[in-house]
Amino acid sequence: MRRNRYVHTILIASALAMVAPFCWQLITSLKSLSSATSVPPSLLPEGRWDNYSRVFDVIPFGQQFLNTVLMAGLRTIGQVLFCSMAAYAFARLRFPGRNLLFGILLSVLMVPPQLFIIPQYQIMSSLGWLNSLQALVVPGLFSAFGVFLLRQFFLGLPKELEEAAAIDGAGPVRIYWSIVLPLARPGLVALSLLVLLWSWNDLFWPLVVNTDPGKMTLSAGLASLQGQFQTDYPVLMAGSLLASLPIIAIFTLLQRQFIQGIATSGIKG
């Protein structure tokens, strides 16, 4: 029992270290600038909610929020659909060149994403898509990782139902849509959550393609907020809290699926 007390002390102390920055963020976001920069600092918030409304005045926060929702949502829908289609083909259908194509896909998975960016940027630029929603969404509709993850998942599903459906005359489209997809729901949820998280938090690509404040996503918008209002910490803290809260809320609600997705795929954003 004594030993358990030490264990708890260590864990509580480290859990505090994990949470303290967030608490300080919240406290600072509710202070006036003068009290945030007073020495010694007060450890209590002040109820200055106007810092939150000021975030909307200094950057088009509402528009950037919408851009982020659309980017993350459309990428997620696109990847779940396209990746599951490809994954089904790689897991279940036989066609010449299957292993070769899958090998090529795996090789893409191993390349660091920075190698795609200059040419992707040029494609966007030549299509006249810079500063548009399409620029944020389209390259993110396709993912070698998503295909790989779902293929592994599909390979683990029992084949009997599919075979029975095939004997009843169901074609690949029907089998994919009415049997494989419903069975693979946990895999699809895991992929959705990962894509949602990565898209929401992504900085490099949105920063590069959309430089018009009204077209930016939240992470790029926040970074630009810091560029302009370097020292207005209460507003910076309010903005960063508002921007990260939605994904934290989703994570807390769907924690189990999320952790399963990460523990099984083991891939990091």
Nearer to another protein, 178 or 255 (CB): 255
What are the distances in angstroms from CA 183 to CA 84, 91, 153, 154, 254? Answer: 12, 14, 10, 9, 19
Q: Which is nearer to another protein, 131 or 244 (CB)?
A: 244
CB of 51 to another protein, least distance (A): 13
- Count of residues in contact with another protein, rule CB under 8 A: 93
Q: Which of 30, 71, 191, 218 binds another protein (CB under 8 A)?
A: 218
243 binds another protein (CB under 8 A): yes
| Alpha-carbon gap, residue 3 to 22, rounded angstroms | 30
Residue whose CB is less far from another protein, 50 or 177: 177
Q: Which stretch binds another protein (CB under 8 A): 47-55, 141-149, 156-164, 184-192?
A: 141-149
Nearer to another protein, 126 or 158 (CB): 126
Binding mask 37-56 for another protein (x = CB under 8 A): xxxxx---------------
CB 175, CB 85: distance < 8 Å: no
Is residue 66 involved in binding another protein (CB under 8 A)? Answer: no
Q: Segment near another protein (CB under 8 A), from 45-53, 56-64, 136-144, 154-162? A: 136-144
Residues 72-101 that bind another protein (CB under 8 A): 82-83, 85-86, 88-90, 93-96, 98, 101
The least CB distance from residue 82 to another protein, in Å, is: 5
Rounded-to-integer distance, Cα 84 and Cα 90, Å: 10
Closer to another protein by Cβ: residue 114 or 160: 114
- Cα separations (Å) of 2 from 7, 8, 10, 11, 127? 9, 10, 13, 14, 67
- Given the rule CB under 8 A, which of 16-24, 44-52, 157-165, 182-190 is the region that contacts another protein? 16-24
230 contributes a contact to another protein by CB under 8 A: yes
Rule CB under 8 A: which of 96-125 touch another protein? Answer: 96, 98, 101, 104-105, 108, 111-121, 123
Instruction: Say whether residue 163 binds another protein (CB under 8 A).
Output: no
Is residue 65 at the binding interface for another protein, with CB under 8 A as the rule?
A: no
